[in-house]
Amino acid sequence: MIIQAPAKINLALDVLNKREDGYHNIDIVTLPLKLHDIIEIVEGRENTTTHLTSDDLSLACDETNLVYKAYRAVKKIYQFNSGFRIKIYKRIPTEAGLAGGSADAAAVINGLSKLKKLNITDQEKIEIGKTIGSDVPYCIFNKPCRIRGMGEQLSFIKVKKEYHVLIIKPEEGLSTGDVYKEADIIKGQRPDIENLIKGLEEGDDELIAKSMANALQKAAIHLVPRVKNLLDELKNEGLKMVMMSGSGSAIYALSNDKKKLEQLYKKYDAIDDVFPYLTKTTL
């Protein structure tokens, strides 16, 4: 079985409060992208071992990988005995704030449900996903969405149009945990989520640009100053819908002008310490 695992970008990320368990309650608006990893799942014989591999040799393919955790979580509940060969073909950059690992884990939950005919309900998938990571419940569905709580409260939203997207990932990545720790000290700008959703529903780019914000961005810039340089460069090009995604370190620009983004892609593709990607949002 071959499954696509789409990346995502956040157009708003608000950190509401720190919980007693050390995690944070969040309020996020997310759009799915055409940029995706590919997950291949091949079922083996009964009582055989599951093996995880990747074409990205830097990726840990052991029990710490979210894909392996997803497999173990589904197996524990549904008690099947099959082993699997699971291979991750990476296209989404790591430590970028694009939910690559979470997307892969969600694809495995969906894939095993279909392959083994488990008939897992949407709510059951959310319950499994939230034990693996806060982005996993969203990645099970890959629709424009407002996400609250610890990532398990999903409210799907209607978006009027798709956008071309230029993503630039600095060579230096960021750990989500490190960024949240820094954000507890360095408070960032809060988004206007209600107006952002209104802008997305109406296709009002000015309202979207005015309402976007990422409360983790200041903290991430403190850890990786290159993030601010790249954000400023894209804004100086006249792009208005520009922000860091998630906990970084990738930044992006949304635009209706595909040609302009293609020109910028070529520019950044010639620079050694960044990795550009061209993609689109999906509805």
> Looking at the annotation, which residues are catalytic?
8, 135
Q: For 265, phi and psi rounded to 5 degrees?
A: -60, -45
Question: Burial, 38: exposed, middle or buried (Cβ in 10 Å; 0-12, 13-18, 19+)?
Answer: middle
Q: Are 104 and 5 in contact (CB under 8 A)?
A: yes
Residue 78 neighbours by CB under 8 Å, 6+ apart: 116, 118, 120
Helices 66-78 and 100-115, interaxial angle, to 10°? 30
CA distance 146 to 226: 29
CA distance 174 to 176: 6
Integer angstrom CA distances of residue 249 from 4, 56, 179, 255: 23, 19, 10, 20
Give the 3-state secondary structure of residue 176. helix
Q: For 182, phi and psi rounded to 5 degrees?
A: -65, -35
Give the 3-state secondary structure of residue 76. helix
Q: For 122, phi and psi rounded to 5 degrees?
A: -60, -45
